Structure 1
Amino acid sequence: MKKITFIITILVGQSLFSQNTDILNVVTTPDGFYSKPGRVHKEDRKIDGSPYINGDKFEKVTIKDYSKNVQDLRYNAYQDEMEFKMGEELYNANKTEGLKIHFPALKKTYESLTYSYEGKTKTGYLVILVDNPKFSLYKREKMELMGGTKSNNGFTKDANDYYEKDKDLYLIAKDKKFFKFPKNSADAAAIFSVDKKDLDNFVKSNKINFNKESDMIKLVEFINK
């Protein structure tokens, strides 16, 4: 079994803790792995709403080929981080390239990836919708922090900053290259390198909506056959 470098397994009486203002260092035996999860920055102002796309609750997770004794996690879609609690402190888990984190209760799997899109390279978590060596389909979930407004009179209160869900971004992955999900059959034929006539027939017969997630999945699965 692989040694866990992603998050911390707590073995009572076998952990050594040392910390500064930003980092908690943990050495755990007998596995001997060493991990440096970053402590979550706490906002010093009131913000309305929540940055957690799936709710504030920490959920059980499973990670293939890794120990089952891992912390419950939750996804912070504003910070693009997986969070866990140790005692009363909140931490971000280490990002490990290619690690797939499955939330059984949510029926959702996130993958930690470094990916490039529109000239920008980012390391973060994407939801796996189709996982295939030919073409994979991912969804990027994101929360934005919007600015509140100041009252211009003495009768109304200032409005706090607030979290607002951004539109989901759907990405096609092929050989570690990422493309935005196509808008129509012509774009799809170019991205997937397939015959447009065959693709048109499939789209029409299945009434594919290029903006509907379930239809996106259906289309990619068809291409992969």
Structure 2
Amino acid sequence: MKKIILVLFGSISLLINGQIGNENISYSTGNFFMKANRPSTKEYIVDGSPYSNGDQFNKVIIKDYSKNVQDLRYNAYEDEMEFKNGDELFYANKENNLKIHFPTLNKTYKCFNYNYDGKSKLGYLVVLVDSPKYSFFKREKVELLRGEKSPNAYSKDANDYYAKEKDLYLVSKNNILFKFPKNIGEASEFFSVDKKEMESFVKSNKINFNKEIDMVKLVEFINK
């Protein structure tokens, strides 16, 4: 069995107590956990939530790793998996090609080095179709927007707030990610499929290029 990437709460507590003042918490296997430092709500209030699945922590399953890992939640603003120890938040260390499955959410996140729009990044994407031919992913992202200043002294300034961006759907091709095609013409060209065959499948299955479930059906069809 591989080394556990997330250590038990008690072990972390001992290490934290022994390394007060450090931003990173290390342990004997050499892995690291970064303290999730964010402004205190007492000093700096931000409306909304940075979490795409809600604020709760959920059980996870990670193949070939111990079952005794912390409950996690995905922070879509920071692109990090968070866990809690006492009253403090920590980010789990990122590992290339690591898959984290949330059974209660029926959702799997993959952490990997990917290339999109000319940029490389090590981050998390939701796995929608996992295939050696064409894999299909969803990027969840939250941005922090500035609140508006009050135009007068009689009302308060609006707080900064988290706003969810529109989900971005990406297809892998030759280890590079591309936006999902917008229509039949783009799809037939991108997937190198005869346009008439593509039209027939789209029509018979009533494929909507803006619906996730239909996009999954199309990629699964292409992969057959």
Judged with a 3 Å threshold, the aligned counterparts in structure 2 of structure 1 residues 57 and 13 are, in CA distance, closer, same or farther, namely closer
**How big is each residue's C-alpha offset from its partner over 1:37-65, in whole Å with a ceiling of 9 and x where there is no partner?**
11002125110011011011110000011
In the alignment, is residue 217 of structure 1 matched against residue 213 of structure 2?
no
Judged with a 3 Å threshold, the aligned counterparts in structure 2 of structure 1 residues 13 and 53 are, in CA distance, closer, same or farther, namely closer
One-letter amino acid of the structure 1 residue matched with residue 38 of structure 2: K
One-letter amino acid of the structure 1 residue matched with residue 219 of structure 2: V
Structure 2 partner of 1:73: 72
Structure 1 partner of 2:138: 139
**How big is each residue's C-alpha offset from its partner over 1:11-60, in whole Å with a ceiling of 9 and x where there is no partner?**
66996554233111222xxxxx2221110021251100110110111100
In the alignment, is residue 162 of structure 1 matched against residue 158 of structure 2?
no
Q: Distance in 1 between matches of 2:2 and 2:110?
A: 17
- The 5 A counterparts of 1:66-215 are 66-215=65-214
Q: Distance in 2 between matches of 1:144 and 1:10?
A: 30
One-letter amino acid of the structure 2 residue matched with residue 23 of structure 1: N
What is the CA-CA distance between 1:116 and the residue it aligns to?
1.2
Q: Distance in 2 between matches of 1:13 and 1:164?
A: 32
Cα-Cα RMSD: 1.8
Q: Distance in 1 between matches of 2:145 and 2:86?
A: 31
Judged with a 3 Å threshold, the aligned counterparts in structure 2 of structure 1 residues 213 and 78 are, in CA distance, closer, same or farther, namely same
Structure 1 partner of 2:3: 3
**How big is each residue's C-alpha offset from its partner over 1:61-110, in whole Å with a ceiling of 9 and x where there is no partner?**
00011110101000000000000012222100000000000000111000
One-letter amino acid of the structure 1 residue matched with residue 216 of structure 2: I
**Structure 1: which 4+ aligned runs deviate by more than 3 Å?**
9-18
What is the CA-CA distance between 1:8 and the residue it aligns to?
2.1
Structure 2 partner of 1:60: 59
Task: Say which SS state the counterpart of residue 189 (structure 2) adopts.
Answer: helix
Structure 1 partner of 2:25: 24
Query: Normalised by the size of structure 1, how large is the TM-score?
Result: 0.92
One-letter amino acid of the structure 2 residue matched with residue 186 of structure 1: G
Q: Distance in 1 between matches of 2:13 and 2:49?
A: 36
One-letter amino acid of the structure 1 residue matched with residue 100 of structure 2: I
Task: Say which SS state the counterpart of residue 114 (structure 2) adopts.
Answer: strand
Number of matched pairs: 219
Q: Distance in 2 between matches of 1:201 and 1:172?
A: 21
Task: Say which SS state the counterpart of residue 6 (structure 2) adopts.
Answer: coil
Q: Distance in 1 between matches of 2:95 and 2:204?
A: 41
Q: Distance in 1 between matches of 2:222 and 2:93?
A: 34
What is the CA-CA distance between 1:223 and the residue it aligns to?
0.4
One-letter amino acid of the structure 2 residue matched with residue 103 of structure 1: F
User: Are the equivalent residues in 2 in contact too, given 1:15–1:26 (CA < 8 A)?
Assistant: no
Q: Distance in 1 between matches of 2:131 and 2:83?
A: 30
User: Are the equivalent residues in 1 in contact too, given 2:9–2:85 (CA < 8 A)?
Assistant: no
Q: Distance in 1 between matches of 2:11 and 2:203?
A: 60
Structure 1's unaligned 5+ residue stretches are 28-32
Percent of residue pairs bearing the same amino acid type: 59
Task: Say which SS state the counterpart of residue 222 (structure 1) adopts.
Answer: helix
Structure 2's unaligned 5+ residue stretches are none
